[in-house]
Amino acid sequence: MILVVGATGSLGGAVAQGLLAKGKKVRVLTRAGSNAAALTAKGAEAVTGDLKDPASLAKACAGIDTVVTTANSVLRGGADTVDSVDLTGNKSLIDAAKAAGVKHFVFVSALGAAENHPVPIFQAKAKTEAHLKSSGMAWTILAPNFFTDIWVGMVVGMPLSQGKPITLVGEGKRKHAFVSNADVAAFAIAAVDNPAAKNQFIPIAGPEALSWRDVVAAFEKAAGKSLPVSWVAAGTAVPGLPDMMWQTLAGMETFDTVLPMADTAAKYGVTQTTVAQFAAAALARK
């Protein structure tokens, strides 16, 4: 049986749905008040627990062969913090899995995670990677680049849906290989059964590296018209975006993330999603 942690979120939900569609036995960890009806209706077993509650994790891991976790504190609040969820919570989950005899642990980290990273969640991801590698279990670490659904969705898609101009930071010329939520889920699903994924760190990016100007152009092509764009200096707040996002956008103006993915995608049987495809789908939903 496979335990999916974070299954009520977008990425974890896609992982759980994909595993169920393949006929896998799936257990999902759900916090009190979370709704897993869409998953249990398709055969998933739900168990109530929380990364902040080690006893609940021991129960969730009982009888499990593989753990896949996508959980993080990014969209949470209150007691759910980087320290309590991404650092201590993940450590507790790894320890519970090891104690339960789990054979394979798949962890969704982040590209660029490092223990000396200036952003706390990237520090926590790196420390979790290290703890997992030293656990004695077979492990797979997936390190996705910037998510198309989040970054392109909020920087470009959100203002368009609201009839507002797109705001770009700096010159918008640095190139980044944005990766879709669906693609990361597909890699996670593939990692469960593929022996080649055992004890591997797998960087994941999109099939192409685009600048923010390129991203806007993709939306313009999908929309069949020019789109209004405004510009702010790097480090300036962007209307509608949380501080973490516009601060990261400023940082994105200082480097590129170009990562060839053709061989990795072929190895794991993943057909990748382009930003143009994302734009067309986003505008179709508008």
For the chain, 286 residues long, the average pLDDT of each consecutive 10-residue run is 94 96 96 84 94 96 97 76 91 98 97 89 95 98 96 94 94 96 97 95 97 97 95 90 86 93 96 96 83
pLDDT score, position 172: 94
pLDDT score, position 77: 63
Identify the CA nearest to 214 among candidates 203, 229, 204. 229
State in words which class domain 2-144 has: alpha beta
Q: Where are the domains of the chain?
A: 2-144, 148-176+207-285
- Which residues, including other chains, have CB under 8 Å from residue 250's CB and lie 6 or more apart? 169, 170, 234, 235, 236
pLDDT score, position 217: 97
pLDDT score, position 266: 96
pTM score of the predicted model? 0.93
CATH number of 148-176+207-285: 3.90.25.10
pLDDT score, position 285: 79
pLDDT score, position 247: 86
Range 25-29, long-range pairs (CB < 8 A, 24+ positions): 25/1, 26/1, 26/2, 27/1, 27/2, 27/3, 27/60, 27/64, 28/3, 28/4, 29/3, 29/4, 29/5, 29/56, 29/57, 29/60, 29/71
